[in-house]
Amino acid sequence: MPVEFLITPEEDGRRLDQVLRSRGCSRRLITRLKRTEGGMTRSGSLIRTIDRVRVGDVVVLSEQDSRTAEPNTALSAAVLFENSEVVVFDKPAGMPVHPSHKHRSDTLANLWASRFGGTFRPVNRLDRDTSGCVAVARTQLAASNLQHNISKVYYAVCCGYPGESGTITAPIARERESIIKRCVREDGRYAETSFTAISGNGRYTLCRVILKTGRTHQIRVHFAYIGCPLAGDSLYGGSCEDIGRQALHCAELTLLTEGREVTVHSPLPEELERLVSPE
């Protein structure tokens, strides 16, 4: 999807590559545009990155990318928000974000291909069995901008009671004998998770969770580390007696898009609410 913008008085006389970087384009994207036939035009004519632009010029960026998946019209997920830059889906549990050798046609990428077509650019990613908000950028420029202008709030149901609130700071590394599993280990990467208990029934506790870092399985690993693994999380020791998937939900995304801040909410799934209802 082409991106079109107007050169402002503040950008008058600057080189195109300087303007693109100031607007959030990565060096990788600029290089790809340079190598794409017709990737950068000004008022309908080709323009180079070293050319200087003038106020009122209309610059159009047209990228080509092969990151597409086969459409699957049988898939469904609610759209929580949509504008010219981004679409936010309410991803159901059980749906992977990306295709893999075990999931060729049942992913959010396949849904995107059937509903919108073109390149699939998720700005945030969730595990297959984690539900909630997933933002997908419509263009690479939007993806570059959103990567640095997005914040998330998760809701997790853990086993037991972790306390009223707290911050878990513990380095996370890959388990040496596993491709998937992570663990807390001294030589791991710094990781920080903050939580606040919302409700509970003695057996389970619903927590509002904010990540300062974004390590793989961070919430799952940290709650297991403090002795309160997520309900349904068999990989990290959570009880699967009352739910068949990890009780983790991305409930809120705050994005800077089209020059304004937007907060998108996904309601807590009924199966998670049920876990913390009074017994």
**pLDDT per position as a tens digit, 193-250:** 999 999 999 999 999 999 999 898 999 999 999 999 999 999 999 999 999 999 999 9
Residue 2: burial class (beta carbons within 10 Å; 0-12, 13-18, 19+): exposed
Q: Which residues, other chains included, contact 121 with Cβ-Cβ below 8 Å and sequence gap of 6+?
A: 67, 136, 137, 138, 139, 140, 142, 143
Q: Is the residue at 192 inside a domain?
A: yes
Tokens of 60: 């159009």
Q: Using one digit for the tens of pLDDT, what is the confidence trace for 160-198?
A: 999 999 999 999 998 988 778 999 999 999 999 999 999
Active site residues: 127
Measured distance CA(273)–CA(268) in Å, rounded: 7
Query: For residue 116, how far is the Cα from the chain centroid?
Result: 18
* Among candidate residues 112, 138, 164, the one where a domain is terminated: 138
Q: Using one digit for the tens of pLDDT, what is the confidence trace for 26-35?
A: 888 888 788 7
Do 191 and 239 fall into the same domain?
A: yes
Q: Is the residue at 277 inside a domain?
A: no
Degrees, nearest 5: CA angle 29-32-33: 85
Q: Is the residue at 272 inside a domain?
A: no
Do 55 and 88 fall into the same domain?
A: no
Do 239 and 167 fall into the same domain?
A: yes
Given the structure tokens 């491709």, which residue do they identify? 179
Q: How many domains does the chain have?
A: 3
Domain that holds residue 54: 3-61
pTM over 0.85: no
* Among candidate residues 138, 160, 185, the one where a domain is terminated: 138
Q: Is the residue at 222 inside a domain?
A: yes
Q: Using one digit for the tens of pLDDT, what is the confidence trace for 7-17?
A: 999 999 999 99
Where does the pLDDT of residue 66 fall: very low under 50, low under 70, confident under 90, or very high at 90 and above? very low
Q: Is the residue at 237 inside a domain?
A: yes
Please check whether residue 198 is in contact with residue 233, taking contact to mean a CB–CB distance below 8 angstroms: no
Q: Tell me the CB-side half-sphere exposure of residue 116, using CA atoms within 13 A.
A: 26
Q: Is the residue at 126 inside a domain?
A: yes
Q: Is the residue at 259 inside a domain?
A: no
